[in-house]
Structure 1
Amino acid sequence: MGFLANIPLTIVVGGILLVAGLIRLLRVGRRPAGYPPGPPTFPIIGNLHQMPKRDAHLQFQKWAQEYGPVYSLILGTKTLVVLNTDQAVKDLLDKRSGIYSDRQDMYIGQELCSGGMRVLMMKYGPTWRMARKLTHNLLNVSAAKSYVPYQMLENKQMLYEILHTPDNVLDAIRRYSNSLTTAMTFGWRTHSHSDPALQQLFSGFEAFAVLNQTGTAALIDFYPFLRYLPEFLLPAQKKARELHRKEKDLYVGHWKRAKASIKDGTAKPCFCVDLARSQDAEGFSDDQAGYISGTVLEAGSDTTSSTLYAFVQAMVLYPDVQRKAQEQIDKVIGPTRPPTMGDEHDLQYIRAIVKETLRWMPTTIMGAVPHAVTKDDEYMGFLIPKGAGVVNNAYTINMDPKRAPNPRQFNPERYINDTASLGESAAQNDASKRDQFTFGAGRRICPGIHVAERSLFLAISRMLWAFDIKPKLDKYGKAILPDPEKLTQGFVCMPVEFECEITPRGKDRAEQVEKEWEEAKRLLEPGSGQWREIPEGMALSSL
């Protein structure tokens, strides 16, 4: 004690604070008692050193096999709880959605890349609820039925483009999904894949998705103090700001163009008409309106096109499925016309292909953006702490062999007796009977599920009616088969680009594809490719 008495008080206090700080620092990265199990942690970094640089869904699946239905990862200062069974998703994200619908702070993705305005990453609150209500009006099941004329016209152009440029099938698919979404959202069509706005949308969102799941961008989220370091040490921040600048120009530019057409009376009925009314009533900015409408645009364009591209790959790899599907179409429809939505209930095998494609290749492979819990909760005897991210591990659940035996086989027979719509399936109480988990769950479930189902059915059924999809052959006549495990990276993914051979199923079907598009063009203005008049009964048709 005499020794301590000779040490200045400030040094003693400083030493105590230093020790306390070191103890607190060493607790960072540790898994507290009571949390769900998970891989062993390392001080300060937790499980960060174990996070894969690519194909994270495979590592998350391995951890699920080792640690069970619910496990946790400690990522620097943040906790991530991973749900790996249909029942866990139902119990938490659906039944306890009141506390499981938030988002964690996402500095790179939300603040820097999106100016705090991206609805996908927005925290649960009044602004998110307002945006959700607006998009529900656009995309609910009743409204979705009214968009069939849009979907049919875009589909006719897609088939025409595939007929004439089969090597560019991905371009045709992307234009199809993007044009449908721009028409519903802004009131105009994207009539060409070479449209710079379409090109920017897909390239920009791909860069956004990759940036937010990998590298130093993730570290900045896991260690918030890093954001205060000089920017030359963190090039991800500069890249994020540049992405935001370009994206904001695109989204707000689209919105202002639509807003101007509303004011001068030339607007077509679309989502932005409702959005303008809400802006007048609630006073949110043009920037926010641009991001609300832009979120609808990116969601409707990217996920649908990625799923359709996965379908094309499945047909290359599983010719027996293609043959059986074409046999049903030929029996029900015949060779004189392609299918329509009126044929849906008579083409159950095609509906099964839609569901199997979503299960086999979930584009939101790990549930897109994690939910977050707003208060401490308990599940299966484990503590799920307030603020933890909560992952709907879609790939692992979709590939559960108890739900889908031999899960990496593309087998539509799994759904041959499943007549529920995608929305009905997601809402049912029995989690084991839900078809797939690609659209998310709870209050954050994708609101475009009803429109997407119709777009997928029309595209798949009509492509199979019109074309044979086969592998390319090498110079020795051997089939060049794509690898279904090679995927693009990011929280939204699709098969890496592959070659295939697409040919018409006879001269009469090729002529029918030509005829339908020539007739459809009469509905459009020459040159601009825009609708002359909006079809009657369209949702949001009252200006």
Structure 2
Amino acid sequence: MQWLLFSAWRKAYGDIIYLNGAGQPMVIINRTDIATELLDRRTGIYSDRPPNIVGCEIMTGGLLFAFTRYGDTWRRMRKGAHEAVNKVVAHGLNDYQISEALALARSGLLDSTAWDGYLRRAAASLMLSGLYGEPPLESEQDPRVRYISTFNEVLTLAFAPGAYWVELMPWMRHIPSRFAAWKRTAEAWHRSGSDEFLRLFGRVQEKIAVGEDRASFCSTLIHEAGRYGLSTRENAWLAATMYAAGSDTSATSMSWWTLAMIAYPDIQTRAQREIDAVVGRNRVPTYADMPHLPYISAMVKEVLRWAPVVPLGVAHRSTEDDIYEGYFIPKGTVVIANIWELNRDPGTYGPDASHFNPARFLDEKGQLISGPPGTKEDGHFAFGFGRRVCVGKHVASNSLFIQIAMSLWSSTLSNVKNQKIDVEAYHDEGLVVRPQPFRVDIQPRFPEALAMLTQECELRDR
């Protein structure tokens, strides 16, 4: 688990570490002010991504948005993604988010043994509705998303360090496919991915043609095609990679939050007291309650700080020679910000930085604050840096807020009998890190909770 190794190296070698792996210069950043200086303030130099031959070049044809090299294609995709996300938010994404939060809380009360599957379904369903204007999912195994989920799993493994020799020996990319099974497999995934993502995008085009489209990310890309200059193929891959990035990370953050509720029951109780005082028990939480639920908002910040699901972020690459406090950083250097270490730095967050404590984001009056100096409005570094910051970060935070609020309004989450909880046990899936599988017991907080959730779900056809 490289992020833990890099954190240990900080103690031995310092806050900024230079490596040379097989001729590739690398810089590891373990301190917040260094990361913000290089990756935020000098973003013009550090906005590129290092080349990835299998995952980025072959499997996705250079169209995997988060990994696309810095240049014209990335700029056009960034503009389209940013504006399309804002359009979806303005045209009712919150309704989708509330519906999925209701369905999630209801499902947890009906059968808490399947909670992890419900988290995945909720995230996938929201992405499907927001991106493609599709009806919600009843199962994470729905055929509409099964392929994308499988593709995402394969792609995540392709980006794992050491997955393919060609990443260390780039000359291998020139080996003919008939002599390289790894290359044939990657090319096959690209062909099938292109077919599936174009099919999904084509469904939106067909609905627009007959006047039946709903507000969605893809419909915005289609209606505003002239503004963004993206081809149909680029649009299809952009939407699919937004789905892949958003669904997996959202579900994983909720899994870490669930573990925190089990491990820190006093924090759960404090959050429930706030919800009871603001919402009561005669209605469900809504986004109108957000300004009055600062502890829940702080909880969102804290879970993203305490357990960043991509602990090493996505590597940057310098496009010019640079000097930082006497360190020479040559052009082409791979720069990795150890998000895990930045988010748990006692110098930034205090001596309890390794503990889950939402109160660190509240002032003495209990009102929400952005966070320590240098952490920007997010209060953490999980969403990345500079021009490469996550375009959907507000959507992600809002989804976490309403799912957490709805779950704590209706339910109490507890450990199951004889299960030992270890908040430092990690399941590394390549880029994304989940907690080791665990079970949770979910019980209603008051007798009417399940009936109220069911009624609200029926009103929304969920």
Counterpart residue number, 1:120: 66
Counterpart residue number, 1:170: 116
Paired letter, 1:501: D
Counterpart residue number, 1:130: 76
1:378 corresponds to 2:318: no
Paired letter, 2:446: G
Task: Structure 2 unaligned segments of length 5 or more: list them.
Answer: none
Quick one: which of 451, 467, 471 aligns to 2:395? 451
Counterpart residue number, 2:444: 504
1:309 corresponds to 2:255: yes
SS in 2 for 1:438: coil
Deviation of the 1:483 alpha carbon: 4.6
- Retained in 1: the 8 A contact 2:295–2:368? no
CA distance in 1, matches of 2:216, 2:183: 35
Output aligned runs, 1:248-397, within 5 Å. 248-279=194-225, 284-367=230-313, 369-397=314-342
Per-residue CA deviation, residues 187-244 of structure 1 (Å, 9 max, x unaligned), is: 1133222312333333321221122113342x31222113234668754434433433
User: 441-450 or 219-228: which moved more?
Assistant: 219-228
Q: More relative contact order in 1 or in 2 (CA 8 Å, sep 6+)?
A: 2
Task: Structure 1 unaligned segments of length 5 or more: list them.
Answer: 1-54, 522-528, 530-543
Counterpart residue number, 1:64: 10
Counterpart residue number, 2:429: 489
SS in 1 for 2:428: coil
TM-score norm. by structure 1 comes to 0.79
User: 430-439 or 496-505: which moved more?
Assistant: 430-439
1:198 corresponds to 2:145: yes
SS in 2 for 1:472: coil
Residues 282/436 of structure 1: CA separation in 2 closer, same or farther (3 Å cut) = closer
- Retained in 2: the 8 A contact 1:375–1:385? yes
Q: Report the identity percentage.
A: 31
Paired letter, 1:212: F
CA distance in 1, matches of 2:443, 2:158: 38
RMSD: 2.4
Counterpart residue number, 1:221: 167
Residues 67/250 of structure 1: CA separation in 2 closer, same or farther (3 Å cut) = farther
Counterpart residue number, 1:107: 53
CA distance in 1, matches of 2:37, 2:438: 39
Per-residue CA deviation, residues 484-513 of structure 1 (Å, 9 max, x unaligned), is: 322232112222321111111122112211
CA distance in 2, matches of 1:253, 1:484: 41
Paired letter, 2:28: V
Deviation of the 1:382 alpha carbon: 0.7
Report how many aligned residue pairs link the two structures: 458
Residues 201/170 of structure 1: CA separation in 2 closer, same or farther (3 Å cut) = farther
Counterpart residue number, 1:161: 107
Deviation of the 1:75 alpha carbon: 1.9
1:148 corresponds to 2:148: no
Deviation of the 1:88 alpha carbon: 1.1
Deviation of the 1:84 alpha carbon: 1.4
- Retained in 2: the 8 A contact 1:360–1:399? yes
- Retained in 1: the 8 A contact 2:128–2:136? yes
CA distance in 1, matches of 2:163, 2:26: 18
- Retained in 1: the 8 A contact 2:157–2:163? no
Paired letter, 1:382: Y
Higher Rg: 1
Output aligned runs, 1:64-83, within 5 Å. 64-83=10-29
